[in-house]
Amino acid sequence: MDFTDNPELQAIFREEVGERSAELATAMRSIAVRLLPPDEAATARRNAHTIKGNAYVMGFQAMGDVAKLVEDVLKEVVAESRPQTPELGELIASIADLFPDAVAAGPASDVPALVQAMNRLAAHIDGSDPGPGDGEPAPAHEADNEGPGADVVQISDRLADREASQSGAHRSDLGGLVSSIVTSFSSHATRVPTTALYQMINRAVEVRLDMEVVLGALQAVVARPDDRQVWEDALLKLEASVLRLQTDALDLATIPISEITGTLDQLVRYVARRTGKNVKFEVVGEDIRVDRQVVDALRDPLRHLVVNALDHGTESPHDRAIAGKPPTATLKVQFSTENHVLHMVISDDGPGIDWDRVQVTADGFGITGAGAATEDLTRLLFLPEFSTVDPPQEISGDGAGLASAYEAARVLNGDIRIASDEHGTVVSLVVPRSLILQDLWIVEAEGQEWGIPEASVITALPATDVHNGVMSFRGAPLALRSLASIVGTTPTTQPDQVLVVGSPEGQVGLLVSAIIGRRQVAVKSLGPILHGSPHVAAAAHLGGEEVVVVIDPRQIVVDAKVPDEPDVYRPKVLIVDDSLGVRQLISATLGVHGFDTTVAPNAEEALKMLVDSPVDALVVDFQMPGQDGIELIRQVRSVRRALPIVMVSGVAAAGDQRRAFAEGVDAYLDKADFRQGALATTLWSLLGQAVAEAGR
Residue 517 above 50 pLDDT?
yes
Inter-residue contact 406 to 504 (CB < 8 Å): yes
Give the residue, 600 or 479, on which the prediction is more confident: 600
546 with 575, same domain: the answer is no
Domain shared by 459 and 608, yes or no: no
Closest-CA residue to 529 (of 205, 66, 20, 174): 174
How many folded domains does the chain comprise? Answer: 5
| 510 and 618, same domain (yes or no) | no
Question: First-to-last CA distance in the chain?
Answer: 54
Residue 639's SS3 state is coil
Sign of the Cα torsion 399, 400, 402, 407 reads positive
Stated length of the chain: 696
Please indicate, yes or no, whether residues 549 and 654 belong to a single structural domain of this protein.
no
What are the beta bridge partners of residue 448? 445
Calculate mean pLDDT across residues 18-44.
93
Percent of the chain residues topping a pLDDT of 70: 78
Q: Which amino acid is at 591?
A: G
Angle at 598 between CA 594 and CA 601, to 5 degrees: 135
SS3 content of the chain, % helix, strand, coil (to 5): 45, 20, 35
pLDDT at residue 209 tops 50: yes
328-342, 439-453, 673-687: least confident range: 673-687
On whether the CB atoms of residues 463 and 495 are closer than 8 A, the answer is yes
Residue-wise pLDDT for 160-183, tens only, equals 432 333 333 333 356 667 766 544
Both 118 and 219 in one domain: the answer is no
Q: Which residues of 498-524 are buried (b: 16+ CB within 10 A; e: fewer)?
A: bbbbbbbbbbbbbbbbebbebbbbbbb
253, 278, 297: which is the final residue of a domain? 253
Distances (CA, A) of 170 to 174, 193, 436, 531: 13, 12, 14, 17
DSSP state of 280: E
120-124, 250-254, 569-573: the lowest-pLDDT one = 250-254
| CA gap 416, 343 in Å, rounded | 10
Chain-wide mean pLDDT for the chain?
Answer: 79
Of residues 163 and 620, more confidence is placed in 620
Q: So what's the pLDDT on residue 644?
A: 92
- Burial class of residue 464 (count of CB atoms within 10 Å of its CB; 0-12, 13-18, 19+): exposed
pLDDT, mean of residues 40-46: 92
Judge whether 165 lies within some domain.
no
Say if 164 falls within a structural domain: no
- CATH value at residue 113: 1.20.120.160
Give yes or no: residues 71 and 198 share one domain.
no
> What pLDDT does residue 526 have?
79
166 found inside a domain: no
Q: Are residues 539 and 484 in the same domain?
A: yes
The Cα 470–Cα 472 span in angstroms is 7
Mean pLDDT of 116-122: 88
Strands of the 329-338 sheet, one edge to the other: 279-284, 329-338, 341-348, 424-432, 415-421
In three-state secondary structure terms, 559 is helix
- Radius of gyration, alpha carbons of the chain: 30
Q: How far apart are CA 589 and CA 547, in angstroms?
A: 12
Same-domain status, 384 and 527: no
Q: Summarize pLDDT for 363-398 with one digit per residue, the tens.
A: 665 555 444 456 667 777 777 767 666 555 555 545
Backbone angles phi, psi at 620, to 5 degrees: -135, 145
CATH of the domain at 598: 3.40.50.2300
Residue 321 lies in a domain: yes
Same domain? 206 vs 334: no
Give me the pLDDT at residue 40, please.
93
d(CA 590, CA 677): 10
Cα 45–chain centre separation = 33
Q: Read out DSSP for 165-227?
A: P---PPPPBGGGTEEE----SS----SS-HHHHHHHHHHHHHHHHHHHHHHHHHHHH--SHHH
Q: Is the pLDDT of residue 561 over 70?
A: no
- If asked whether residues 305 and 344 sit together in one domain, one would say yes
Is pLDDT above 90 for 278? yes
401 and 301 inside one domain: yes
* Whole-number pLDDT of residue 170: 33
What pLDDT score does 74 carry? 93
CA–CA dist 595, 571 (Å, integer): 5
Q: Evaluate whether residue 454 is within a structural domain.
A: yes
Q: What is the pLDDT of residues 225-264, one digit of tens each?
A: 566 666 667 677 777 777 777 777 777 778 899 888 888 8
Return the pLDDT at 619. Answer: 93
Contact 359, 380 (CB under 8 A): no
Closest CA to 569 of 617, 527, 620: 617
Residue 168 in domain: no
Q: 291 and 253 in contact (C-beta within 8 Å)? A: yes
Domain co-membership, 540 together with 615: no
Domain boundary among 206, 237, 253: 253
Final residue of a domain: which of 209, 230, 253?
253
Give CA–CA dist 259/298, Å, rounded: 11
- Asked whether residue 642 is assigned to any structural domain, the reply reads yes
CATH code: domain of residue 395:
3.30.565.10
Cβ within 8 Å of residue 226, ≥6 positions away: none
List 338's β-bridge partners, or say none: 341
pLDDT for residue 389:
62
Q: Would 393 be classed as within a structural domain?
A: yes
Average pLDDT over residues 208-235: 67
Q: What is the pLDDT of residue 385?
A: 66
Distance CA 17, CA 51 (A): 6
Q: Which domain holds residue 530?
A: 437-565
**Spatial separation of the C-alpha atoms in residues 117 and 28, rounded to whole Å:** 14
A 10 A CB-CB count for 476 gives: 10
Count other C-beta atoms under 10 Å from residue 430's C-beta. 22
Q: What is the reported pLDDT for 282?
A: 94
Q: Does the structure show a pLDDT above 90 at 543?
A: no
pLDDT digits (tens, 9 = 90+) for 140-159: 333 334 455 444 444 444 44
Contact predicate 629/660, CB 8 Å: yes
Q: What is the pTM of this model?
A: 0.64
Pairwise CA distance, residues 23 & 58, whole Å = 21
